[in-house]
Chain A
Amino acid sequence: MTNPVTVEAAATSPAPEAPPALEAARPIEGRSPGQIAWLRLRRDKAAMASAAVIGLLILVAIAAPLLTALNGHGPNEFHQEALNTELGGIPKGRFGGISSEFWLGVEPGTGRDVFSRIVYGARISLVVATLATLVAVGVGTVVGVTAGYFGGWVDQTSSRTMDVILAFQQLLFAIALVAVADQIPRTLLIVLVIGFLNWPYIGRIVRGQTLSLREREFVEAARSLGAGHAHIIFKQLLPNLAAPILVYSTMIIPANILFEAAMSFLGVGVKPPTPSWGQMLSNAVSWYSTDPVYVAVPGLALFVTVLAFNLLGDGLRDALDPRGGR
């Protein structure tokens, strides 16, 4: 019989139990955990701002053709006239050639419009990261729940499989896979490779959660009432796994954005001329001393995107699981 208020107050860290203050303060209203989480999330300014940034990014990605039409330059149009050939092909004008015509300047060497490439690059970043996350979460959840729920050899097999995948050095294995599986369309391949390398992380977490949930009273109760495996898994376990899965999904999206960018940076990402931020940064390595703006623009785009997802992930975690993190 721990007095929750005591715990909250005595600890220098968050209360190990659900928000006592909220419960104590409004015993009559009786909020669902989801509502409480939503309230907490809404109070988290950083998370809400991040959500807005992400929303904006998604809009930009969707409206890419529209925005480039407005801008007047496609992502793959070359504008030699915007380059200073005497200086080795760096953009004319200051700040990487930023002007009313080229809103974020032009690419040194080729003269492609940076704004258009950034906007289209957002598509690749978001689509690849989201799809890869879906693959990882999908596979990870299925395997994790099955392993945790059925145990025995199913658990053994899947746990060992995860060990094997986790034994490979991720980025190295990814570039090697891309190199050997050249028949598959590159973008699809990247989605699959990132998803494949990441699912064991989700799988382990889901397995662990399932193991502990399996022993809980409500699952025992369902089982003793004669519920089948399907009922227990879909009606009892999965709803309770939703929160951690959501949190971890949000947290691996930024990691996957970075992963895709890293692959593009290394030259094994989406194939040129499809624009991607990592690739732009890769080009920028040869130009950073003469055209730093060309580093700054894709660099900032990548940084802000990843930061926004990280902040949203932190916010979600804090909102759904007060024990974690802060």
Chain B
Amino acid sequence: MLGYIVRRLIGVVLLLFVVSAIAFGLFFLIPANPAQQACGKACNPERIAIIEHKLGLDKPLLTQYGQFLKGIVAGRDYGEGTQVTHCPAPCFGFSFTTDQPVWELIKDRFPVTLSIAVGAAVLWLVVGVSIGIVSALRRGTWFDKAAMTFALTGVSTPVYLTGIVALFFLSATWHVLPYPTYVAFTDDPLAWAQNLIMPWFTLAFVFAAMYARLTRASMLETMGEDYIRTARAKGLPERQVVGKHGLRAALTPIVTIFGLDLGQVLGGAILTETVFGLPGLGQLALRAVFNTDLPIVMGVVLVAAFFVVIMNLAVDLVYAVLDPKVRYS
């Protein structure tokens, strides 16, 4: 088991390394001249040269990538002599447009995304899985049909459409909920929750629908397994057959999917943030894309990839605990 964890950790580090190389290559090499972009509109060749030098763009590619990696791990200094700007680790560089360290921006925005993601994840997991289980157990009943209609609607509705509809009714028409603005949890937990209710439900709607379908399918498959028949043959009460033998097997794959989805959302719930105008990681990246502020784009893309990969790892480890076949091989 320990060997397995170590192997997986090495794999994760390697994967992140490759991901960073690809991101670096794509974002710094494809556009004709980052210095030009960094320079902005009022610009002249001298300024570009200065910026190029300051960003280290005049050095060979590998050196640049090396410095970039070093910056993330240990921090780096930009410029020379008296004009040195120190960028502490993890350094993703400075924003072209605002000159702030990218990491600071990411740190600022992450709580917003985290708040959206965690609240929505709890919702969709509880709602989706419960609906899926009940649907599977009451297959063919009106509940099942209604639930599956709901689920199909959910997976077919884009997040932002749900968001606009929610805004129209709940905020603009009935005035039940405020137009969401982000309030830090530490400032006012109640306002935090009140403002996030709409984003949570909006994001959770799609996922809950998906999870309801997945759980139902998984549950149906499991309940048809021979070992469920064995559990019944032992004389176990149906509640235990379903609750212990059924769920144990049916929910194991759901755990995997949940981890992966959470990893994706933690890197920025772009659509949800956009429709509600919440300043999360996704918004940060999207703005940066419009301003061709590459260091920010790259920073967010890498942080997002980090979450995806880490959640992947977490899922594999949890899976190893849940599935004895993995644990003992």
Contact = CB atoms under 8 A, between A and B. Distances in A.
B161 A303 contact: yes
Interface residues of B, number: 56
Nearest to B242: A12
Interface residues of A, number: 55
Contacts of A285: 160, 164, 275
Contact of A267 (B155, B222, B290): B290
Contact of B164 (A173, A281, A307): A281
B285 A12 contact: no
Nearest to A10: B229
B267 A172 contact: yes
A322 to B, nearest CB: 12
Interface in A135-192: 160, 163-164, 166-173, 175-182
A285 B166 CA distance: 12
B157 interface: yes
Interface stretch (A72-80, A221-229, A258-266): A258-266
Contacts of A288: 164, 167-168, 172
Contact of B158 (A265, A292, A310): A265
B152 A310 contact: yes
B297 interface: yes
A11 B139 CA distance: 12
A172 B158 contact: no
Given A176-B301, A266-B271, A299 B164 contact: yes
Interface of B: 15-16, 18-19, 22-23, 26-27, 30-31, 139, 152-153, 155-158, 160-161, 164-165, 167-168, 172-173, 217, 220-224, 229, 264, 267-268, 270-271, 274-275, 282, 285-286, 289-290, 292, 294, 297-298, 300-301, 304-305, 307-309, 312
29 contacts: A10-B229, A11-B229, A12-B224, A15-B224, A160-B18, A163-B15, A164-B18, A167-B305, A168-B19, A168-B304, A168-B305, A169-B268, A171-B268, A171-B271, A172-B268, A172-B285, A173-B304, A176-B289, A178-B289, A179-B297, A265-B158, A266-B286, A267-B290, A278-B158, A281-B158, A281-B160, A285-B160, A314-B152, A325-B217
A303 B308 contact: no
A176 B297 contact: yes
Nearest to B161: A299
Given A13-B224, A169-B301, A281-B160, 11 more contacts: A167-B305, A167-B308, A167-B312, A168-B23, A172-B270, A176-B297, A265-B160, A284-B164, A288-B164, A288-B167, A314-B152
A307 B286 contact: no
Given A13-B220, A176-B27, A302-B161, A171 B270 contact: yes
Contact of B217 (A281, A282, A295, A324): A324
A166 B304 CA distance: 11
Nearest first, the 8 closest Cβ-Cβ pairs linking A and B are A13-B224, A11-B224, A169-B304, A169-B267, A307-B156, A13-B220, A289-B172, A179-B289
Given A14-B224, A170-B264, A311-B152, A302 B26 contact: no
- Among A261, A268, A299, the one with the most B-chain Cβ atoms within 10 Å of its Cβ is A299
Nearest to A168: B305
Majority secondary structure of chain B interface residues (helix, strand, loop or mixed): helix
A129 interface: no
Contacts of B292: 179
Interface of A: 10-16, 160, 163-164, 166-173, 175-182, 254, 258, 261-262, 265-268, 278, 281-282, 284-285, 288-289, 292, 295, 299, 302-303, 306-307, 310-311, 314, 323-326
Contacts of B304: 168-169, 172-173
Given A289-B168, A289-B172, A281 B300 contact: no
Given A169-B301, A172-B300, A295 B165 contact: yes
A14 B136 CA distance: 12
Contacts of A169: 264, 267-268, 301, 304-305, 307-308
